[in-house]
Each structure stands twice: as C-alpha cells, then as structure tokens.
Amino acid sequence: MILVFAEQRDGVLKKAAKEAVSEGKRLSSKLNMPVGAVLMGKGADQAVDEVKKFGPDKVFVVEGEPLDRYSADGFAEAAANVAKEQGANVILFPATTMGVDVAPRVAAKVEAGLVSDITGLDVADGKIVATKPVYSGKAVATVKFKSDIQMVTLRSNVFPLEENPSDPEVAKVDASGIAPKGIAVATELKEGGKVELAEAAVVVSGGRGMKGPENFPLIEELANLLGGAVGASRAAVDAGWIDHSHQVGQTGKVVSPTVYIACGISGAIQHIAGMGSSKYIIAINKDEDAPIFNVASLGIVGDLFKVVPALTEELKKLG
C-alpha cells in the first residue's frame, strides 16, 4: 500500500495534503498498489469527504482523545501503527511544518529510508526514485532506496493537485492506547497573512531594499490583490522589519509558488534555496547586476518604490 499522511486542521484538509494524495494516486498505477489516506487529530472525520475527492482506495480516520491536541510523537506512533498494520511499502508526507515534524519519527519507527523535501517522484524497477534540490538548490540529487519501506516528504506547490473522486472504505482507528510523551498545550497563531506562505500560489517578498518596516504595506497590498502571501529575506527579518515566520530561504521557509515577486532582494544563495523552485520569478531591483536576475523569469531594473505602486495601480484597474 501507498500510505499518505493527509494533514488536516479542524476538519480542513491542507492543500499540501491534497497534492500528496494526488501524487499517491498517480504512483498507485505505476506501482500497482492501492492508496490509503490517513487522517488524524481534532476534526479528522470532517475531512473525509474532502480527501475522497483525490481518489484514495481506503481512508483511515485515527480517532481518540490522546490525539485531540497535536503531538509529534503521538501522531507518529498512530501513523506508524497504521503503516505496520497495512504493510505500507511507500509512505508520503507533505513537507509542511507538521509533516517534517512527524515524518522522521515515523521513518524511525517503521525502519524506512526517508528523503525529505522532494520535488520529483518516479518509479524504476518497482521502487520509487526521488529527486530533490541540494546545495541550496545548486544541484539536484536523484535518490534510490535501499530500505524496503520508502518514505518521502513532498515540497508544497510542486506536485499537481488532481481531483479523482473515489468511494473508499473508511476505517476508524482507535487511538486511545496512544500515550504521547509531549503534547502542544497551546497554539498561538501569528497575525498577518490570510494565505499561508508555504502554500501560497503567489508570494511577494521584500528585502533590505524595502528600507524599513513602514514600507511593507506596499508589498502587503500587492500580495493581497494577487491573493498571495508576504515573504521576506533574512536581512529584513534580522532588521526587525517583519516577523521571522515570513522568512524565505535556507533558514526560513521553502516556498514554491507559481509566481514569486522579489522586491529589493539581492538573491543570495541562502535566499534562492527557499524560492528557487518557484515557477515564475519576477525580480525588482535597482542594481542590474544583482544575482537575483540570474534566476528571474522576468527582471525589472528599477526603484521598487516606483515599480511596486505602479504594478498595484494597474492590477486595481483590472478589478
């Protein structure tokens, strides 16, 4: 079986989870294996209808008070139990914050090889072959597995989301025997974007060229108009202009939107590591030699304080 961790919060399936189940479905025809989607945590049963749209052959709903609050080791134990019971050969996780927290623990429990943050998946000789960017995106590694159980975490916004409705069997799994060592006692959500940075289709990011926190509303307005999220370089974050949760790059979030707009960002390798796999990169920088132009699909050499408001005005005209 191909088992997919279908991450949900309060009954709402994560976009990255839909992508992972879609990829599981595509793999299932190549490997000739059924796809199981596992839902857990508060609201898991409410996400069943949504997950069915992406074609799983079976849905596992892990229920029980021990998992009502998030617990990395509790979720990992529950996922590993399902994987063992079902004899899962391949396990897919979205490379979300939760996914990267839980997946390595599952890998240890089921003795699986794990390749994280992959951007490509294929099949050769009955096993999966994963590709992932390495050396801050300067090269791509192709990884084969020696282990029997093969696990990957999938980078968000890379694998196409494909509706493929099915009528799977829904199995309830009792989690009452799980005794998490640690649980999240409170969750504090940061203010800001309505759209989650790692899942956004459009990201508008600001760097040191933004000059100060008072100018960030400029890119927030542009991001809102495009239905996107606001990102930032580490220089802007370190200067205290914007919260670290917006940082894109090697020590921040990895994003892979359809459109990434870099405003006043030079394009250091550590920044590219977090956005280099975006489909279209638009760079606005007043220095025509800025390295960001080496990865840009469209480069605008100019003052962002002129270019961004002009772009915003044009977009407003489009309604």
Ligand X SMILES: Cc1cc2nc3c(=O)[nH]c(=O)nc-3n(C[C@H](O)[C@H](O)[C@H](O)COP(=O)(O)OP(=O)(O)OC[C@H]3O[C@@H](n4cnc5c(N)ncnc54)[C@H](O)[C@@H]3O)c2cc1C
Considering only the C-alpha atoms of the chain, give the largest distance between any 2 of them, rounded to a whole number of Å.
61
Shortest approach of ligand X to residue 296 CB, angstroms?
12
Q: How far apart are CA 182 and CA 87, in angstroms?
A: 27
* Residue from 249, 257, 276, 299 in contact with ligand X (CB under 6 A): 249
Structure tokens at 184: 């999240």
| Alpha helical stretches, state H, the chain | 15-31, 48-52, 72-86, 97-110, 216-225, 234-238, 269-275, 292-295, 304-317
* Sole binder of ligand X in the list 31, 95, 265, 311 (CB under 6 A): 265
How many chain residues are in contact with ligand X, going by CB under 6 A?
28
For residues 142 and 134, give the distance between their C-alpha atoms in angstroms, rounded to a whole number. Answer: 10
- Residue 311 interacts with ligand X (CB under 6 A): yes or no: no
Of 292, 289, 286, the residue nearest 271 (C-alpha): 292
Cα 85 from chain centroid (whole Å): 27
Q: Least distance in Å: CB of 156 to ligand X? A: 17
Among 228, 264, 276, 299, interactor with ligand X by CB under 6 A: 264
What is the nearest approach in angstroms of ligand X to the Cβ of residue 234?
Answer: 3
Candidates 309, 212, 222; CA nearest to 260 is: 222
Does 85 help bind ligand X (rule: CB under 6 A)?
no
Is 252 an interacting residue with respect to ligand X (CB under 6 A)?
A: yes
Q: Which stretch binds ligand X (CB under 6 A): 5-13, 55-63, 190-198, 265-273?
A: 265-273
> What does the per-residue mask of binding to ligand X show for 289-308, with x meaning CB under 6 A?
-x------------xxx---
Cα 210 to Cα 231: distance, rounded to the nearest angstrom: 12
Binding-site member from 29, 147, 251, 297 for ligand X (CB under 6 A): 251
Closer of 248 and 296 to ligand X (Cβ): 248
Which residues make up the interface to ligand X (CB under 6 A)?
A: 207-209, 233-236, 247-252, 264-266, 268, 270-271, 274, 284-287, 290, 303-305
